Amino acid sequence: MVGFLIGRILRVVPTVLGITLVTFTLVRLIPGDPVVAMMGETGLNAVGRERALAMLGLDRPLHEQYLIYLGNILRGDFSRSIGTSESVLKEFLALLPATLELGTAALLLALLVGIPAGVIAAVKRGSLVDHATIVAALSGYSMPVFWWGLLLILLFSGTLGWTPVSGRLGVQFYFEPITGFHLIDSLLVDEPGALTSAVRHVILPAIVLATFPLAVIARMTRSSMLEVLNDDYVRTARAKGLPGWRVVNVHALRNALIPVITVIGLQISVLVTGAVMTETIFSWPGVGKWLLEGVYRRDYPVVQGGVLLLALMVVAVNLLVDLLYGVVNPRIRHAR
């Protein structure tokens, strides 16, 4: 197990280095001038521009900029935002709880709906329920996030008035953050109605963000269950007269979840990328919205540092899932 662990960690190193290189390169391909974004076009002369470039380190050759950037990252220095002069790491950590809260709610929704839907579709193979699940999953694959989000806002916020349009909490509520998660903090403080407000604000963004992962998990659960239900041990359990729910939930589902675990880990990256658009649509004050604003401002440190920190989180989660997969299925540990 130790050798398996070391091997997986060593494979992560070139991935992280590749992420730093890709992030550094792509950020510099963004159209626009960060100096103009920082200082404005009025009153910007050649001397002031050169000083600003030198201050930002953008007057050096690209390879030197990358080596300096990599060295700073290894020391834990993610630079400072051009727009606010605040530490990128500090801003990221301040906004991260909002993104984690939304992502966790979306993932729980995807799991609570996707896995049972996949199991029922497999058990009822060929039925109307099965066909409806397949159609819904295909719709979830192909539905653009921004379009789906706007539809939900028009229906539930604009027409029915059931949910707020944007934000994390009603303006009438204010309390000092304890954990950074409003759903938890609203339980810890003495603010009647705060929890209801937090739930109403998170419902629509969570549904939008969960749509694609839910479809993937449902399809994978259905496919895995169909394979397991035809195995000999399942037929033997049925021949012994065990109740149908026990055969499905205890004998079949436990083994069918092995490939689903891997798919769930892969959906973390989908949640991260989807958060950028979802947070923008719902004005959710998280890392995704912050990154998009950094792109608009040509804020190199924010985009570089934010994307890298998110990528490191995704890599860490995938590594954890990979290790968990090796624990669940010991044959993986011995595979070459």
CATH number at residue 157: 1.10.3720.10
In a domain, 153, yes or no: yes
In a domain, 199, yes or no: yes
In a domain, 83, yes or no: no
In a domain, 188, yes or no: yes
Higher-pLDDT residue of 301 and 233 is 301
Q: CA-to-CA distance for 109 and 274, rounded, in angstroms?
A: 15
Q: Which of 246-255, 289-298, 317-326 has the highest mean pLDDT?
A: 289-298
In a domain, 150, yes or no: yes
Of 114-128, 265-279, 312-326, least confident by mean pLDDT is 312-326
In a domain, 34, yes or no: no
The answer to whether 119 touches 201, Cβ cutoff 8 Å, is no
Question: Which residue in the block uniquely carries the two structure tokens 């935002």?
Answer: 81
For residue 304, give the amino acid letter. Q
In a domain, 283, yes or no: yes
The pLDDT tens digits of the residues spanning 69-118 come to 888 888 888 888 877 888 999 999 999 999 999 999 999 999 999 999 99
Q: Give how many domains the chain has, as a whole number.
A: 1
In a domain, 19, yes or no: no
Rounded to whole angstroms, what are the CA distances from 287 to 24, 39, 241, 248, 309? 19, 24, 53, 40, 10
How much is the mean pLDDT over the chain?
82
Check residue 59 and give its pLDDT.
74
Which domain covers residue 274, as residue numbers? 88-334
* pTM of the predicted protein model: 0.82
Residue 332 pLDDT level (bands cut at 50, 70, 90):
low
Residue 146 pLDDT level (bands cut at 50, 70, 90):
confident
Check residue 41 and give its pLDDT.
56
**Arithmetic mean of pLDDT, 230-255:** 72
